[in-house]
Structure 1
């Protein structure tokens, strides 16, 4: 394709976005019991010059608000005005979960376990269906924004698909503090995209229902890094102290509570650890026992459970090397 040729037109839900145009498109999903119509908001920024189409998606889980804020700030600052290709932005996919401060939709189903969806299925399946049918066919690369679930706090990290080289390349370019491969989960957004040969990376930063300024800035920086890599933008102004490279983790392990009690971490999330180092304690309320949680090997902590009272078997630390 010649460098000065015109970019493609992107059509979503019957709305055409011509080269050089930006549009806000609404895909109707359902109504609240009050009758209020609920739409999936989609922003499309289509450059005049041809190039790849990047999807940036937040709020697949309604209580994971850091991704929503990352996208909001980038929309406010005009970060998606690209010189080549196109950016499709889904700022808040699971609006129902967002309204109810919940990971799921009201019937308890997880949208990220409902792909590729069904036109006349459950609410979660219908949301997944519209993304699969109307958005993904236009996408060449994607960034899916998440946080830790429940009260687990994820230090900024990127997850990619091991046998998808384009996915690993994007993970490296994003340059989060940590990156590693994870297996594909059945009926997940990433697996459906994989089957459509679309490389997706998943950014995890912070915890649900709580803003984390550091995770937000890392997310913005990483998205800009990917856009620069795809030749969509020219310049990146660093928001954070630059690292030489991400830490690539090839070994990971969850450390779990050996008994019920109060959990007291002794290390900071994201810090390096030494084998046999005491990472935290689980103790009872009457000082009758105190169980140490030790590092199984030297490496890093990249997730800490912020729940103070835990049960036996609860995930406390995610460590890797």
Structure 2
């Protein structure tokens, strides 16, 4: 797989030492214009692993797209050995429309491995699993928090996978979050195909956050360096803090609807009963303080100024491993 002298994707042959950008025609629009997904391939003259770097499975997760864009723009994707395949925007429909979903209303990350004869989203998932993933030895997939929920930079992996745990620690995000694979997700399908994946989460939808993008780019460089693939012109920095492993966590949900303001910042460690924020009404007659149910790290904060009863407003760790 990784040592092939000639890699063939969509009929294009890319030999060791060559570069290519091939496009997958997702569909024709109702105007008959074509809609293409660019796939950027860089190969070293020296054989080695093939790493697939993806983002934009959800069209509103711009921060992940920005991370992959920087990886390409800076030349980090030009390996010292092996092959790096970048797909910055998988859900190009959603990206163009600034929408999380496909035009058919489906979440691409819930239809994998897809079907060649299925819905539009299902056909794209099928293409990714049939035409791209089989070439990869390892995947890094970049996501952000949904809507106004701002995620701390984190790597999500399943428990008891020593290889992924090693790579997650090398990536060096502030948190490693143990989470089970979701049925019909890209991560789950890759695992079933025998291709390990690090899933990065950071930031929120419709937003580019420099700290999050720097974490994603620097983490990618560390992993590529560990694999012997990073060009020697790039420096590899150590993480500023040791990664916190989240074994268990819980969502704190709004007890009331109203105007919301958080008092704590992302990545903060708080003690039990600490005031995390408050919910008020527009008329000055109501003020509810949201308190931490336990001591732990806050790794997701809802930044919406208006919330409804039951909305997730904070994600807090309940069990960690340093």
TM-score (norm 1): 0.94
Q: Residue 149 of structure 1: CA displacement?
A: 0.4
- In 2, distance between residues paired with 1:6 and 1:54? 12
Q: Is the 8 A contact 2:81 2:228 kept in 1?
A: yes
TM-score (norm 2): 0.94
Identify which of 213, 216, 224 aligns with 1:219.
Answer: 216
Segments of structure 1 that go 5 or more residues without pairing to the other structure are: none
Q: Residue 296 of structure 1: CA displacement?
A: 2.0
- In 1, distance between residues paired with 2:291 and 2:188? 34
The worse-fitting range, judged by mean Cα deviation, of 58-67 and 72-81 is 72-81
- Say what the alpha-carbon RMSD is for the aligned residues: 1.6
Query: Which residue is equivalent to 1:99?
Result: 96
Q: Is the 8 A contact 1:7 1:49 kept in 2?
A: no
- In 2, distance between residues paired with 1:245 and 1:85? 30
What secondary structure, in the 3-state scheme, does the structure 1 residue paired with 2:82 have?
Answer: strand
Query: Which residue is equivalent to 2:106?
Result: 109
- In 2, distance between residues paired with 1:135 and 1:163? 27
Query: Which residue is equivalent to 2:80?
Result: 83
1:34 counterpart = 2:31: yes
Task: Write out aligned runs for 1:1-321 (5 A).
Answer: 8-233=5-230, 235=232, 236-237=234-235, 242-320=239-317, 321=320
Return structure 1 stretches of 4+ with deviation > 4 angstroms.
Answer: none
The worse-fitting range, judged by mean Cα deviation, of 277-286 and 306-315 is 277-286
What secondary structure, in the 3-state scheme, does the structure 1 residue paired with 2:103 have?
Answer: coil
Q: Residue 234 of structure 1: CA displacement?
A: 5.1
Q: Is the 8 A contact 1:7 1:47 kept in 2?
A: no
- In 2, distance between residues paired with 1:163 and 1:36? 47
Q: Is the 8 A contact 1:193 1:200 kept in 2?
A: yes
Number of positions where the alignment pairs a residue of Structure 1 with one of Structure 2: 316
- In 2, distance between residues paired with 1:245 and 1:20? 37
- In 2, distance between residues paired with 1:163 and 1:15? 38
What secondary structure, in the 3-state scheme, does the structure 2 residue paired with 1:51 have?
Answer: coil
CA separation of 1:85 and 1:238: change in aligned 2, threshold 3 A: closer
